[in-house]
Amino acid sequence: RPRVLSGIQPTADSFHLGNYLGALRQWPKLQDTHETFYMVVDLHAITVEQDPKVLRERTRVSAAQLLGLGVDPDRSALFVQSHVPEHTQLSWVLECLTGFGEAGRMTQFKDKAAKQGTDRASVGLFTYPVLQAADILVYQADAVPVGEDQRQHLELSRNLAQRFNHRFGKTFIVPEPHIVKDTAKIFDLQDPTVKMSKSASSPNGIVELLDDPKRSAKKIRSAVTDTGREIVFAPEQKAGVSNLLTIYSALTGRSVEDLESAYAGKGYGDLKKDLAEVLVEFITPFQERVNSYLDDIAELDKVLARGAERARQVASRTLSVVYDRIGFLPPV
């Protein structure tokens, strides 16, 4: 079976609708066709300042959300990144193959460093995409389900795999991004020209899956649309309505065309009201599942320990081949 690897940062109290529709929705589905490795990327989280207690809490809540979304620990290795030291070990090797300028061209780094100020931005933020490449390559992943914003990082992972293979002999699988076009970028509800994001969106622009469903419903009902009336999918002219149609379609499985004809002659208010209900129906049982996983922390920690053990079996094999290829003396 082809392999899949993906991760999510424990840097918010809840995953948001963009994380879910852009990437996480694919994770349980891929369990049917792929060997799957899914992780909470706590090492990536500390590239910006974290409160230790909050980080630990969010790591567990993230794992519980993944379980609540359908990641099955019997079929997937579900683990925490820092439990598998091979990620950072491979990352160092890959850092030595990455050009300084090459890393400096990563737009996510440039954006975040610009916001923080270059002096305050950490070296870890700079090397973040290289650690991400190590995450992927250490499992010999064929595919990586992510949102559109990760495409450039995936390209770096592919380049590093090819560079290593070229220099030291075929070692890594060159991974493909698995980006579902229709939902690759979910937009902010208040400014539908920019992506929904935990760091940039205003509170009303972002729907958090663990937030009070009533509040989330209200956010949908007050989403920014245009002054027109027609409910049609036209991202250039009608960014807000189109974003709502994308979300509606993804949550119900109904095609956008089907929704357009169902809402012909109706108003934006009708669309928002119905979508708010659809969202609440999705969120409410999800939250119940998450809470039940969080009720038994000892069991949750055990699931993560089992996942890490499975992950390490694969990761350590790759790392020993890499160490050998680059000429490290094996310990006796």
Q: Which residues are annotated as a binding site for ATP?
A: 9-11, 18-19, 147-149, 186, 195-199
Q: At closest approach, how far in Å is the CB of 68 from ligand AQP?
A: 16
Look at residue 7 and give its three-state secondary structure.
Answer: strand
Give the annotated binding-site residues for L-tryptophan. 135
Window contacting ligand AQP (CB under 6 A); options: 72-80, 94-102, 144-152, 235-243: 144-152
**Backbone φ and ψ of 330, nearest 5°:** -70, 140
- Which of 14, 19, 47, 59 touches ligand AQP by CB under 6 A? 19
Site membership for ligand AQP, residue 200 (CB under 6 A) = yes
Cβ-in-10-Å burial (0-12, 13-18, 19+) of 245 comes to: buried
At 94, which amino acid appears?
L
**Does residue 255 contact residue 249 with C-beta atoms inside 8 Å?**
yes
For residue 113, what are the β-bridge partners?
A: none
Give the annotated binding-site residues. 9-11, 18-19, 135, 147-149, 186, 195-199
Site membership for ligand AQP, residue 62 (CB under 6 A) = no
How do 76-80 and 143-145 pair as beta strands? unpaired
Encode 322-331: b = buried (16+ Cβ within 10 Å), e = exposed: bbebeeeeee
- Which of 4, 5, 23, 136 touches ligand AQP by CB under 6 A? 23
Site membership for ligand AQP, residue 18 (CB under 6 A) = yes
Q: At closest approach, how far in Å is the CB of 320 from ligand AQP?
A: 29
Site membership for ligand AQP, residue 313 (CB under 6 A) = no
The residue at minimum Cβ distance from ligand AQP is: 22
Catalytic-labelled residue, pool 115, 170, 198, 273 = 198
How far apart CA 291 and CA 125 sit, in angstroms, is 32
**Backbone φ and ψ of 187, nearest 5°:** -100, 160
Site membership for ligand AQP, residue 22 (CB under 6 A) = yes
Eight-class DSSP state of 196: -
The verdict on whether 218 is a catalytic residue reads no
Nearer to ligand AQP, 28 or 147 (CB): 147
- Which of 13, 95, 149, 230 touches ligand AQP by CB under 6 A? 149
The verdict on whether 29 is a catalytic residue reads no
Window contacting ligand AQP (CB under 6 A); options: 81-89, 198-206, 221-229, 278-286: 198-206
Q: What is the DSSP string of 63-116?
A: HHHHHHTT--TTTEEEEEGGG-THHHHHHHHHHTTS-HHHHHT-HHHHHHHHHH
- Which of 162, 193, 199, 255 touches ligand AQP by CB under 6 A? 199
Question: Can you tell me which residue has the tokens 């595919």?
Answer: 143
Site membership for ligand AQP, residue 202 (CB under 6 A) = no
Q: What is the DSSP string of 237-283?
A: T-HHHHHHHHHHHHHH---HHHHHHHTTT--HHHHHHHHHHHHHHHH
Q: What's the residue count for the chain?
A: 332
Site membership for ligand AQP, residue 152 (CB under 6 A) = no
**Backbone φ and ψ of 147, nearest 5°:** -85, 170
- Which of 69, 125, 186, 271 touches ligand AQP by CB under 6 A? 186
Window contacting ligand AQP (CB under 6 A); options: 16-24, 135-143, 168-176, 212-220: 16-24
Interface positions, 230-289, toward ligand AQP (CB under 6 A): none
* Residues designated catalytic: 112, 195, 198
